[in-house]
Structure formats: structure tokens, C-alpha cells
Homo-oligomer: A and B are copies of this chain.
């Protein structure tokens, strides 16, 4: 980020940089909670290599694999040939809230995200399904792979960050090839000139700087699908892992976090207003959020903000709880439309890559 890409990304002065190069950053909780649609300068950035600079005019998207013909489509052709569509969708890094897992037991070589590796935007682009229909598919098609134009190095090899989604998901109208974020051209850090947007899935599948789409019979063998972004049982370590095993991440689980007050804040005795976000994966609804000031002995049901326009977006919530003087821990948990809820303890879902921490979110405050 200290390089040329800084020019085009006017990052918020309070953005929390977790890693300078590759640039990885998230906003503070309080700022994240200000607007249901996250402005680009407060939208988390998860990179695995330097931000590539791509000339939009000469850019060509390649579509290959099982389709009947190989295609190269320029941005202008993409906009011309297919109708535009706007979807409001929340993206969440699979490593969001990793700090809570790191507090349980060491996790090596991964970014220590707080609960703000998440953001919600209105994405405009063309529907992947329209492009796939145009490209044509064989009957063997089962997965859609996205490959980025960045230049990642892993295990001595260099390649573009990539991953795949099941074809069934790829044919859903909400999956976009997006060129705009909140009504303006995508910033380079957010994937310009074109990125995938896969609502309801971990952020890693919304591949940025999209260079190629491959229709395949098997899931992607890209490092970030076949090795990283897999969930392993608590007993598996970097030393014992068999990469052929593990749960290939896709849809995200029910999750919520407290954004106000923040960890370590001082608040007054009496009524305390607690605000946060909640998200359910796969288009399921967030149906309820419970907030507790006594570690789950008693709960207050939170109220949702009125804005509830997209099944792919998070919901903002607010609750009032009573706090007595002293140190207090505020806890939140959410429920989705399938009555899935969050597990209580991070220690019970610890995994050596530090993914998908959706344990009850806890914030310690000082009450006086």
C-alpha cells in the first residue's frame, strides 16, 4: 500500500492497517457501524499480493474451460451485451474475528482481524449467469472458477488468487461481475476494473481483478480453494494437516458483532445503548439478535434498523441494557431464519487457520 496503489485509494485516516504489504486493513468498529452501506474508504481490504494496476481500456476478460468456445470480452462489450444489475451484498472475510481465536491459542502466519473484516456495498455489474449462458456450457459443468490478475507467491509458485463456486450458485442471478461499488467505479484495492461478487459466500470467492472465468467439472485447485480457506477440526495443526481433507468454505455461518461500545471503553452506569451488525449466509435472514450484560444469564432482544432491502446484506441492530458500576462484559448472538445460532465459546471452534469465528461476540467495558 506504500506503493503506487496508494495514489488511487483515499483511505480513511482511521483505517486500521493490519499488514502494509500486501495491504490488509479494516475500519474501527464505531466507524463501520455509521452507515448500512459501507463507503469504499472504510470497506475492509484483504489482499494476498500487491494491488495490480490494470489498464481498463485494454482489459479483456477470458472465459474458458468447459464452455463450447473460448471468449475474450472487453469491459465495453460486457456492458453493451449484457444488462446491468445492482445487488446490495455484504462481503465478509473468512478470517473476520480471527483475533478471538488467536486469544484462545496461537495461529501462525495469518492476519489478526478484528470484527470489521466485513463491509456492505451496492455492487453494479452484469449477472454471471447471463455471461455463462452466452458462453455456453457442456453437461460436465459443475463449478465456476474465478482467477485474479494479481501475482501471489506460495510454495515457490506464482499465480493469480482464485477459487470456485458451485455452478448452481453461479447460475443464481445475484452473482455478479461487478465494475461499480456504491455507484462509482471500483477502486483498484477493491478489484478494478472487474471483480466477482458472490453474495452469501466468504469474501475470498468474490475474486478481485478478475482475469479469467473457467467452467469446470471439479472445484478449483487454486491454492486458495484447495489449501487455504478450509475449515479443519480443532485437533488438526499445520504439522498434521492433510489438505485433501477439511471443509471447503462457501456460505458463511450466522454471525454478529458489537460495534458500540468498543472494547475497553468507559461507559456510564444505567442504560447503555449497544449497537452492532449481524449477518446470515446463503440468503438466509437474520431473524433475531440477543444482547446480554451478564454473559447470557439474561438477554435483551435487539431492534433492527429499518433498512432491510436485501437478503444478501447484513442487518444493523441496537439494544439497551442495564449496566452496574465495575467491569462489565457485553455479549451478542444472532439467529438466522433456519434457527441456527452462534456457539458460545471461541475455544470450542478454534481451528489452526483461524476461520469462521462466530462465537458469541464479547466486549469488555468499564462502567462508572
CB proximity of A35 to chain B, nearest CB, Å: 27
Q: Are A253 and B343 interface neighbours, CB within 8 A?
A: no
Chain A residues within 8 Å of chain B by Cβ, number: 38
Q: Are A344 and B344 interface neighbours, CB within 8 A?
A: yes
Identify which of residues 326-348 in chain A touch chain B, using a CB-to-CB cut-off of 8 Å.
Answer: 335-345, 348
Cα of A349 to Cα of B341 in the assembled complex, Å: 9
Q: Are B249 and A339 interface neighbours, CB within 8 A?
A: yes
Identify which of residues 218-255 in chain A touch chain B, using a CB-to-CB cut-off of 8 Å.
Answer: 231, 233-235, 247, 249-254
Which residues of the partner chain B approach A341 to less than 8 Å between Cβ atoms? 253, 343, 349
Q: Does A99 contact B (CB under 8 A)?
A: no
Q: Are B356 and A247 interface neighbours, CB within 8 A?
A: no
Q: Does A260 contact B (CB under 8 A)?
A: no
- Copies of the protein in its oligomer: 2
Cα of A247 to Cα of B247 in the assembled complex, Å: 29
Cα of A257 to Cα of B307 in the assembled complex, Å: 39
CB proximity of A254 to chain B, nearest CB, Å: 6
Which residues of the partner chain B approach A301 to less than 8 Å between Cβ atoms? 233, 235
- Which of B249, B254, B337, B345 is within 8 Å of A344, CB to CB? B345
Q: Are B290 and A247 interface neighbours, CB within 8 A?
A: no
Q: Are A299 and B343 interface neighbours, CB within 8 A?
A: no
Cα of A238 to Cα of B128 in the assembled complex, Å: 49
Which residues of the partner chain B approach A342 to less than 8 Å between Cβ atoms? 343
Q: Does A41 contact B (CB under 8 A)?
A: no
Which residues of the partner chain B approach A343 to less than 8 Å between Cβ atoms? 341-344
- Which of B231, B299, B300, B339 is within 8 Å of A247, CB to CB? B339
With a 10 A CB-CB cut-off, give which of A231, A340, A356 has the most chain B CB atoms. A340
Q: Does A288 contact B (CB under 8 A)?
A: yes
Q: List 16 A-B contacts (CB under 8 A).
A: A231-B339, A233-B301, A234-B298, A247-B288, A251-B284, A251-B337, A252-B338, A253-B338, A253-B339, A254-B340, A281-B338, A339-B358, A341-B343, A342-B343, A343-B343, A344-B344
- Nearest 10 A/B pairs, CB to CB: A251-B338, A340-B340, A253-B339, A253-B340, A339-B356, A281-B338, A247-B287, A344-B344, A233-B301, A343-B343
Instruction: A233-B288, A247-B335, A344-B344 given; name 20 further pairs at CB < 8 Å.
Output: A231-B335, A233-B290, A233-B299, A233-B301, A234-B290, A235-B298, A235-B299, A235-B300, A235-B301, A250-B337, A251-B284, A251-B337, A252-B338, A281-B338, A282-B282, A282-B284, A282-B338, A339-B355, A340-B340, A342-B343
